[in-house]
């Protein structure tokens, strides 16, 4: 009888495709959530004793309106300017819920007429990266963001918010579009729960003790991975090099290892 394979903590998958230069975020790993690697790559390496000014993406993410204004008005940077990872200041401000910066950027004369619907390489508009109802309401009600837009995965902003467990946000956006999130909920609930309230699976579910041990092992792997990410970022900051290749290699190795472990667990006879 097959054991249910452990679900690898692969919130790091998107890093293989996109490492977006934002300020350090909390390291809460959420289901399906895109988690940017904390980095200051876009800051120029400054001479000893001096500090380089923030770029517009970092300033927007940190809520530094004065620096954002300086970038737009003095340096001539567009509100929809994309960095090398196709992330815009609007995405950064929306993600961190900085409504003053959103309003400034979207109201600036240099902003394109449809700036509110600017997309990144995943076809995500700023609405897709919102984490609060207030940010989404600002984009939709004040600047007429297209709430029915679908990204490269075919998801609407409401569906993506629902998958990321931002239920209030998902319900708000769905109330605007008229879409139903009930189908997604029913799909998740199709297997039901056992007598202990745990989700049923097609194979033999792990016992409570096995699941606890598996969770502990995966948590330890996650902590170890994040510690190594921190080491690479610190060294890159100190030595002034681009850590992208090292980060991608690190995450790739971690993903492959977790997949192999999952295959071995789901096919115990193969490793016997």
Regions of the chain where pLDDT drops below 70: 1-51, 183-205, 261-272
Tell whether 65 and 166 lie within a shared domain: yes
Mean pLDDT of the chain: 78
- Number of structural domains, the chain? 2
Residue 169 lies in a domain: yes
> DSSP code of 22?
B
CA of 18: how far to CAs of 120, 121, 159, in Å? 10, 9, 21
Domain around 127: 40-205
pLDDT for 158-211, tens place per residue?
999 999 999 999 999 999 999 998 755 555 554 455 555 555 544 556 788 888
Same domain, yes or no: 45 and 174: yes
Burial class (CB in 10 A: 0-12, 13-18, 19+), 176: middle
Which CATH number goes with the domain that contains 194? 1.25.40.20
Q: Are residues 167 and 53 in the same domain?
A: yes
- Is residue 44 situated within a structural domain? yes
35 found inside a domain: no
Confirm whether 19 is domain-assigned: no
Sequence-distant (≥ 6) Cβ neighbours of residue 175 within 8 angstroms: none
Pair (226, 270) in one structural domain: yes
- Taking each helix axis as running N to C, give the angle between helix 244-266 and helix 208-239, from 0 to 180 degrees, rounded to the nearest 10: 170
DSSP 104-157: HHHHSTTS-TTGGG---TT---GGGG--SHHHHHIIIIIT---TT-B-TTS-BH
Domain assignment present for residue 59? The answer is yes
Q: Are 127 and 237 contained in the same domain?
A: no
**Closest Cα partner for 36 from 12, 62, 54, 8?**
12
Domain boundary among 152, 185, 205: 205
* Whether 112 and 193 share a structural domain: yes
The answer to the question of residue 27 being in a domain is no
């Amino acid at each position: 009888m097959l054991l249910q394979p452990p679900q690898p903590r692969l919130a790091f998958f998107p890093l293989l495709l996109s490492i977006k230069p934002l300020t350090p975020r909390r390291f809460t790993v959420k289901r399906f959530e895109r988690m940017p690697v904390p980095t200051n790559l876009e800051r120029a390496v400054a001479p000893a004793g001096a500090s380089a000014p923030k770029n517009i993406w970092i300033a927007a993410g940190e809520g530094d309106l004065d620096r954002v204004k300086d970038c737009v008005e003095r340096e001539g940077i567009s509100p929809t300017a994309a960095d090398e990872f196709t992330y815009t200041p609007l995405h950064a401000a929306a993600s961190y819920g900085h409504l003053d910066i959103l309003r400034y950027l979207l109201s600036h004369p240099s902003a394109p007429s449809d700036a509110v619907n600017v997309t990144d390489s995943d076809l995500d508009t700023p609405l897709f990266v919102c984490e609060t109802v207030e940010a989404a309401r600002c984009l939709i009600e004040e600047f007429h963001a297209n709430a029915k837009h679908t990204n490269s995965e075919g998801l609407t902003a409401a569906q993506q918010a629902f998958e990321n467990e931002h239920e209030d946000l998902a319900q708000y956006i769905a109330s605007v579009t008229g879409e139903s999130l009930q189908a997604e909920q029913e799909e998740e609930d199709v297997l039901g729960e056992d007598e202990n309230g745990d989700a049923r699976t097609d194979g033999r579910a792990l016992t409570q003790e096995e699941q606890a041990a598996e969770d502990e092992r995966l948590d330890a792997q996650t902590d170890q991975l994040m510690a190594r990410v921190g080491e690479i970022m610190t060294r890159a900051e100190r030595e002034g090099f681009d850590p992208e290749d090292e980060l991608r290699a690190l995450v790739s190795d971690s993903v492959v290892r977790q997949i192999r472990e999952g295959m071995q667990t789901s096919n115990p006879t193969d490793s016997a």
